[in-house]
Structure 1
Amino acid sequence: MAEGTEGDEPPRRRRRTRGQRIRRLLLSLFILFFCVPTLLFAAVYWSSEIPEPAEVAVEQPATVLAADGTTVLTKIIPPQGNRIPIPLSDVPFPVRDAVLSAEDRNFYTNPGYSTSGFLRAARDNLAGHDNAGGGSTITQQYVKNAFLSSERTVTRKMRELIIAAKMARQWSKDEILAAYLNTIYFGRGAYGIAAAAKAYFDKPVPELTLAEGAVLAAVIRSPSVLDPETHFDQLQARWQYVIDGMVEMNVLAPGERDATVFPPIIPLVDTPAAEMALGPEGHIRTQVLRELRAAGLTEADIDTGALQITTTIDAAAQAGAIDTVRERLAWQPEELRSAVVSIDPRSGAVRAYYGGENGAGFDFAQAPLQTGSSFKVFALVAAQQQGIPVTRSIDSSPIVDRGTRITNVDNDSCGQCPLTEALKRSLNTSFYRLTMTMADGPRSIAAAAHLAGIPEYIPGVEGVSLTEAGGPPLNGIVLGQYLVRPIDMASAYATLAASGVYHSPYFVQRVTTGDGRVLLDRDAEARVGKRLSEPEQRITAAIADATTQAMMPIANYSNGHGLAGGRPSAAKTGTTQLGESKDTKDAWMIGYTPSLSTAVWVGTEQSQPLRSGRGGSIYGSGLPADIWKQVMDTALAGTPVEPFAAPPLPSGGGWTAPAPVPVPAPAPAPGNNGFDILDPPTNAPRNPPPVIIIPPAPQAPEQLEWFPGIGGEGPR
């Protein structure tokens, strides 16, 4: 072992003196509590982008207007705001002073933040106090509401302080106060001082008195706790604090304070209703929102743009539809519901829309429903597409399909008569035989209906519409077995009114922002040859116009429901059967002129028997036809009487009925009660086939699908 190594001890560290330890501790604390916060402050300060006052998007209502551009139908209220921004000049000085007294008495002299408030908030947060926070200046409160979340953390409070400091250097104090007053929550669902003045005193801001302004200033701190309906004493105490503070600020003389009395506040039940319509127009609001989103507008566009949305709704037609339904249902059983949709056939514009009284509830105009005999018109279209003219004569005697006897209401019959007569009398047996006569009749009818405007996919209907559990439709399709919405029926009939040209139905015509920017304009799109949805010639004009001619006698035939002044119309009724009973459950009247197509449905929410106020069954030619005629007469009053386009005549100068297609007459068997359809079918995905245009061929009954309980509707 080398000399000098054995037994050597490692060198000892020199122990720091007490002074060195203290200096190291102080340095660590300096870095932790000064350098790090300073660096963070600088980083947040320089990285924070403060927009100009005019660039801050404030949530405010969008106004939904009728087609005239002036009639207000409803408002779209953002999630946090019925705000109506106003300039600071509209706020009386005593009201401004009251707000400063309540929330920030040094507002015009402080740097935008309160260091003591921040330290107090930090202490309370670290201690876990439930009321952590407070001490914020008006600038900090605005920053928190406009740019940050409401979470109670030191980090959020620090960001609030830093952004407030930067904002105070970039914005004037008046700009900050104006933004604050237009965004702060005052209780009673009121965001911004304009909404608050209405909610508490039902008056505009410029008319607020000192005492009223002090009330609004008082509730800012805690609107729920200081609600005048439940905590009146606490509100009065806070109001007195605000008034006393104004004396301390030297903006109110002691004598004026003593003469100021607590003002009367309107009861909550008398508060002006929120402008988001809960009546029938609420359903229009829902459709407008759906359309705006489909057109690419974002939620921010809708909530902050102060949009002026001009719809296609005709104010007179809309009022007429609502008034008519209310008048006609006033003396009917309370369970009855109705839907009305009117569409302009030349454009697809929805002119009137009624889906029920509760605009925040279920919309019956969007409800998938069985349509009954009103679906027969699509069989007439399909027949012509296969070369069968509307004058073809078909047997109307009862028919049995796989054990089910199909009849007409009251066993009505026209013997061997043209399809036009069978359509007028709504003879189920004739149209059921027509379906059996056509090549792939059920699917050809479905295809014709899709061409007219019945969507392939309907919300609330599983899979492709007009199918039977994903397979081909059954023969009962001709009697309205499958589910379709009232708006779809109005649209599909509008295609016939437009000589076979389909226009997608729409509600929104033009959208502009509060500052005048145009976000959507269908008229401008049309002028440059571009449309959001292009019209399509889906059915030949000859077939559509011939179908219209066949439908023209029906309104008068159905208990005298022809339009006023002899105005030409084409229409069809429909009624469906409730289960295996003798009751009805859906009743329809759908019809059109060249300028307006209207679908009317009457039914119940729970598929109850349709009974009138006198206890009788309701058919399509009854109450629905009453509503249809009144709605159409009201909407068309004062407009020119227009004739329909006549279908082109064959070379012989008129329609020549071909020989009827023979169909074996079935033996009588127990069956239905003469209505259109029984139970709703199931639906599953399947693409509808193309229209089949081939010569008609007979088809034996035993080759058909089974369909339970079908019948027809007479001129009730």
Structure 2
Amino acid sequence: MNTGGRQAVPAHLQRAATSDRAERVSDRNPRVQARAGAGTAERTRGDDRTRPPTGANPAVSRRPQGGGPGGPPPRRPGGEGPGGGGGSRRPKKKSPWKIVRRVAYVIMALLIVAPSTMFLVAYSTVDVPKAGDLKTNQVATMFMADGTSVLSKVVPPEGNRTDVSIDQIPPHLRNAVIAAEDRDFYTNPGFSISGFVRAARDNVMGKASAGGGSTITQQYVKNAMVGDERSLSRKLHELVISAKMARQWSKDDILTAYLNTIYFGRGAYGIDAASKAYFGKKVSELDPAEGAVLAATIQQPSNLDPEKNPKGAQTRWNYVLDGMVSGGHLAQADRAAMQYPAVIPAAQAAGDKTMDGGPEGLIKTQVLKELEAAGISEHELNTEGLQITTTIDAKAQQAAVDSVNKTMDGEPEILRTAVVSVDPKTGAVRAYYGGTDGQGYDFANAGLPPGSSFKVFGLAENLEMGKPLSTLYDSSPVTVNGIKITNVEGEQCGMCTIAEALKRSLNTSFYRMMLDMPGNGPQKIADMAHKLGIPENIPGVGKSLTEADGNGPNNGVVLGQYQVRPLDMASAYATLAASGMYRAPHFVQKVVTSDGTILLDRGETAGEQRISAAVADNVTDAMKPIAQWSRNHNLAGGRDSATKTGTNQLGDTGENRDSWMVGFTPELSTAVWMGTEQGVKLRNANGGMIYGSGLPADIWKGTMDGALKGVPNGKFPKPGTIGGQAGVPSWSAPYTAPSTTDAPVLPPVITQSQVEILPGITIPVPGLAPNPQNQQRAQPQPSQDPGTGPMSGQPVAPADGSTVTTAPNPGGGNGNGNGNGNGAPRSR
């Protein structure tokens, strides 16, 4: 009967439960079995004596134990097997997912605990200096090749910086900088976790762009303290200092130090110097549009200079202004009304001490471009105290400048000239003259049509195809597609060798040579020029040696109608001087920081064999007589040289617009150009036309003689055999057998002329004139003694006057390069 309280548990059920527990314990541990039995009996007796009475509120003080007739309670899964026997228990298997989870927990702990520990240790040990204690400014010095003669300097910001206080920096400028570089500057802890993670990822992946995403505080720490090495340790160091600095310095102090330190381009360090460099005014006088321009340049100081990259600069400027609007620092209406402000020219930048006024300034520009291409940053250039050894030879450079000054003294001021000398053995630029204005137009690096100096590339291609220097071509005028090709002053050599045609610079022979090439002759010649060193893409020109639409070169390529630079011509001719071995021209030999760290060392310059030595040396052999032929411009001391003149005509005016002299010795290759900025006709002080054999050749000879003074005379290698002929043959035209009888004189021709017999009345009157065929027979030809007979390999002119065919010399040519051509020297 239920009385509403808990009823007492019957004794037999208590005993059964106790017995069952004891049995399970004994199954798990045999050593407990004996103790369990004894304990059970003892507890059973005690239970009998202390069984609680029944009543309204019975209480059970502890679970009764005993072994009555009732069955045991349900067993837990995994107990004994069927039959209830006391067999051994199966070991429980561990879940593989539990192991994975535990490993994941350990990895996560390491990723969190290890960096945190490192950060805390570093944070507790690092010291943050005061802004005034940080020195980041050092001079970068450019030396000539001797390592001691100073060529130029990159002046440190010491003389180009004025520190300003936060009160002197207009609020709009501060906000512009924050909008450009760190839009949560005033709220972040001095560093960006996402930026650090991205930098860590990029470093692990080996990306060249590792870094970025830095706060203003981090940028300042990087520029002023830890440098910009691309490594995870450097980034961690930067992060620790930034975090500590953000706690020890006020945000305004950090922003002020940052704006007084960073580089803005134009040699300006700090916001006040930048204000003067771009706008010619103090920073406190800048308006919001001008301030946004300076803020926009911070990302890429030189590349975002409005004078150099107006489109990119304005795009970044718009980004800054939009950020100011979104941050609530600029009204949308004011933003819409803003116009991009004008900046002053870089040459007029106030307080900029990095500019060089003379010819060395143009060399400095080339050096800086090369350093950038080598991965040396502007920050390293301006803060590492770099010692830059250039390839410029002091003696060669002075020889070029002196030769220009001496030659151009008294000549029309409108004339301009350029000189570049390259070492064939290394590709090092030894002399470079692009003009007198170091910040003006660089004619040595300008695209200019080379005229006949380009013919050597056509000759090289002809030799590459197996046609020797003894190959004969007609030099008479030729008309192609309605265009008549002639030679200067109507000169011809009849049917003569291509070597003779090169010496005389006969356009018609080279035009026929190109037309005779199988396939696309103009493209073959352009390809050869590219092999020898003319770049396929030229700065300021684009794709070279082709039409503007990229449709390939036309026939004028062999006569030098397409633009190349004097630097390119000196380099390509240097490849010929080095027997076909190309070495890229360069201005920088070595770069070392102030603490001795080597950033760049070219060492021995490796070359690339672009054409065979036989082809290059045969071209050289054909060029050897030209310096003498071109108004006696042989080098001093009987030094061997190989040269070619070039003249580019001014439309169809009969005047010249560009004149060249390009040539080399085994030690040095030099290209000289002369022209005008306006592209007008070339006339010298006496009013005469300027050819390559005139003033340009004078400058070339002066430069080469001065640069090579004291250098032993080198000798060109003996050319190999091509098409059975080695070098220039000892003959220049077919052999003409002496006539045994006098040539008959053709009768005169009858002509008619008009004679006025009365005012206004004329009648035809017959007359006689000499037969023009008699004059054609008298046309002078390159001569040789007719009594000696044909030379070895020399073809014989047919007696019937038909065209002679080339008969290559079967190896009998002497390759002495004398040319043996006749006629007075001519201007080219």
Would you call these one fold, judging by a TM-score over 0.5?
A: yes
2:506 alignment partner, one of 423, 427, 432? 427
1 or 2 for the larger relative contact order (CA 8 Å, sep ≥6)?
A: 1
Query: For residues 514 and 52 of structure 1, do their structure 2 counterparts lie closer, same or farther at Cα, with a shift above 3 Å needed?
Result: farther
1:499 alignment partner, one of 573, 579, 584? 579
Q: Please name the residue that 2:559 is paired with.
A: 479
**2:595 is aligned with what amino acid?**
D
Deviation per CA, 1:560-617: give whole Å up to 9, x if none. Answer: 1010011000000000111110111000000000110000000011101111111111
Q: Please name the residue that 1:412 is paired with.
A: 491
Q: Please name the residue that 1:576 is paired with.
A: 648
Confirm or deny that 1:76 pairs with 2:154.
yes
Kept in 2, the 8 Å contact 1:343–1:597? The answer is: yes
Q: Where in structure 2 are the equivalents of 1:80-479 lying within 5 Å? A: 80-82=157-159, 166=248, 274=353, 276-439=355-518, 440-467=520-547, 469-479=549-559
Query: For residues 273 and 402 of structure 1, do their structure 2 counterparts lie closer, same or farther at Cα, with a shift above 3 Å needed?
Result: same
1:618 alignment partner, one of 690, 697, 701? 690
TM-score, normalised to structure 1, is: 0.59
**2:530 is aligned with what amino acid?**
H
SS of the aligned residue for 2:594 comes to coil
SS of the aligned residue for 1:469 comes to coil
Kept in 1, the 8 Å contact 2:649–2:655? The answer is: yes
Kindly name which structure, 1 or 2, has the bigger radius of gyration based on alpha carbons: 2
2:670 alignment partner, one of 566, 575, 598? 598
Q: 2:261, 2:421 → 1: CA distance? A: 40
2:596 alignment partner, one of 513, 516, 539? 516
Q: 2:171, 2:527 → 1: CA distance? A: 68
Deviation per CA, 1:116-142: give whole Å up to 9, x if none. Answer: x99x999x989x9xxxxxxxxxxxxxx
Query: For residues 411 and 517 of structure 1, do their structure 2 counterparts lie closer, same or farther at Cα, with a shift above 3 Å needed?
Result: same
Structure 1 residue runs of 4 or more that deviate by more than 4 Å after TM superposition: 46-57, 80-84, 143-149, 162-168, 182-185, 189-192, 222-225, 650-661
Aligned residue pairs: how many?
476
SS of the aligned residue for 1:322 comes to helix
Cα displacement (A) at 1:554: 0.4
Cα displacement (A) at 1:659: 13
Q: 2:222, 2:390 → 1: CA distance? A: 36
Q: Please name the residue that 1:715 is paired with.
A: 827
Cα displacement (A) at 1:83: 7.2
Kept in 2, the 8 Å contact 1:409–1:714? The answer is: no
SS of the aligned residue for 1:74 comes to strand
Deviation per CA, 1:501-557: give whole Å up to 9, x if none. Answer: 00000010010111221111112xx4xxxx6xx411001000000000000000111
Structure 1, 397-406 or 615-624: larger mean CA deviation: 397-406
Q: 1:48, 1:358 → 2: CA distance? A: 54
Q: Please name the residue that 2:821 is paired with.
A: none
Deviation per CA, 1:56-99: give whole Å up to 9, x if none. Answer: 56133311110011111111246x45479xxxxxxxxxxxxxx9
Cα displacement (A) at 1:472: 2.6
Kept in 2, the 8 Å contact 1:568–1:642? The answer is: yes
Q: Where in structure 2 are the equivalents of 1:669-708 lying within 5 Å? A: none
Q: 2:474, 2:600 → 1: CA distance? A: 54
- Name stretches of at least 5 consecutive residues in structure 2 with no aligned partner: 1-119, 175-216, 224-240, 251-256, 274-281, 286-349, 735-804, 807-824
SS of the aligned residue for 1:620 comes to coil
Query: For residues 166 and 447 of structure 1, do their structure 2 counterparts lie closer, same or farther at Cα, with a shift above 3 Å needed?
Result: same
Deviation per CA, 1:597-650: give whole Å up to 9, x if none. Answer: 000000011101111111111110000000000000000000010000111247
Q: 1:330, 1:595 → 2: CA distance? A: 29
Q: 2:614, 2:567 → 1: CA distance? A: 25
Kept in 2, the 8 Å contact 1:48–1:163? The answer is: no
Query: For residues 653 and 408 of structure 1, do their structure 2 counterparts lie closer, same or farther at Cα, with a shift above 3 Å needed?
Result: closer
Q: 2:529, 2:724 → 1: CA distance? A: 30
Query: For residues 74 and 224 of structure 1, do their structure 2 counterparts lie closer, same or farther at Cα, with a shift above 3 Å needed?
Result: farther
Structure 1, 381-390 or 344-353: larger mean CA deviation: 381-390
Q: 2:218, 2:726 → 1: CA distance? A: 78
Kept in 2, the 8 Å contact 1:312–1:509? The answer is: yes
Deviation per CA, 1:3-54: give whole Å up to 9, x if none. Answer: xxxxxxxxxxxxxxxxxxxxxxxxxxxxxxxxxxxxxxxx9xx899866699
Query: For residues 417 and 275 of structure 1, do their structure 2 counterparts lie closer, same or farther at Cα, with a shift above 3 Å needed?
Result: same
Structure 1, 469-478 or 634-643: larger mean CA deviation: 469-478
Q: 1:381, 1:411 → 2: CA distance? A: 26
- Name stretches of at least 5 consecutive residues in structure 1 with no aligned partner: 1-42, 85-98, 104-116, 129-142, 150-158, 169-178, 196-221, 226-270, 662-696, 699-712
**1:715 is aligned with what amino acid?**
S
Q: 1:659, 1:592 → 2: CA distance? A: 24
Kept in 2, the 8 Å contact 1:74–1:275? The answer is: no
TM-score, normalised to structure 2, is: 0.52
Cα displacement (A) at 1:148: 12
Kept in 2, the 8 Å contact 1:390–1:550? The answer is: yes
Kept in 1, the 8 Å contact 2:580–2:613? The answer is: yes
